[in-house]
Copies of this chain bind each other. A is one copy, B any other.
């Protein structure tokens, strides 16, 4: 392989040029880039001003000016946060939502064009971008509770089932027909569902449901290919165990398949022990852990 560092710097130049083009593509709607970057971070339901400032690394004075300018344009409204009245919350007006949608469409079109440029290698391109984005976002990874009926959880579970079908010989697609009738059991007060976010993309999930008195069952641990090799599965397991503890459980169980060797190695390394079967195919390994 030629010098890896030289290759990385070529990448930097290529992407900087592309990102520059991306930035200027956000112009042409008569608004400076800084204001646009703020605008597109405001969610319709309202976003904490400090959060935006922090994400964009802006000076508070500059941020304030951007907000005033967007307000003058009638794209956002700001109100004080009732929970902490020093803070302010920015909310999109209908005009603002339309404007954000327009910027979204521009970005979407650009992105689609870039992917199209890859031709037959589009899938590889997206996978490569995923890997890089996940590595760069690695420190910003956040694990948050999620609604088991939400779109992101459904997407994670679908990815999990696809993975099972690909790797477990005994698994067939029709074993996992979403939507899941049992999704309610992954909710409070007796269940839980966690998703790991890299930026706004879910890259891992895990769920917990009541099994039998003081025993809960861990289900559907999944980590996206781009996020593997960084100890995320271990973090997810540790997070769901904490949830279980807080819900008052004393024992955890899980079933899995011997084809999923890394997962089993992780379980063994973190205090899980084999037990007698308590479910059927496609599982062929059953484990337990005291809390």
A132 contacts B12, CB within 8 Å? no
A1 CB, nearest partner CB in chain B, Å: 7
Interface residues in A235-274 (C-beta closer than 8 Å to B) = none
Find the residue from A18, A122, A230 having the highest chain B CB count within 10 A. Answer: A18
B129 contacts A117, CB within 8 Å? no
Contacts of A14 in B (CB 8 A): 132-133, 136-137, 199
- Of the candidate stretches A73-81, A105-113, A165-173, the one touching chain B is A105-113
Give me the interface of A with B, judged by CB distance under 8 Å.
1-2, 4-19, 22-23, 107-108, 111-112, 114-115, 117-133, 135-138, 155, 159, 198-202, 229-230
B11 contacts A133, CB within 8 Å? yes
B108 contacts A121, CB within 8 Å? no
User: How far is B199's CA from A10's CA once the two chains are assembled, in angstroms?
Assistant: 7
A11 contacts B124, CB within 8 Å? no
A14-B136, A135-B117 given as contacts; is B8 within 8 A of A129 (CB)?
yes
A118-B135, A125-B132, A229-B121 given as contacts; is B4 within 8 A of A12 (CB)?
no
Contacts of A17 in B (CB 8 A): 136
User: How far is B122's CA from A135's CA once the two chains are assembled, in angstroms?
Assistant: 10
Contacts of A12 in B (CB 8 A): 19, 22, 107, 111
B136 contacts A1, CB within 8 Å? no
Among all A-B residue pairs, the 5 with the closest Cβ atoms = A128-B128, A11-B129, A14-B133, A14-B136, A11-B133
A240 CB, nearest partner CB in chain B, Å: 22
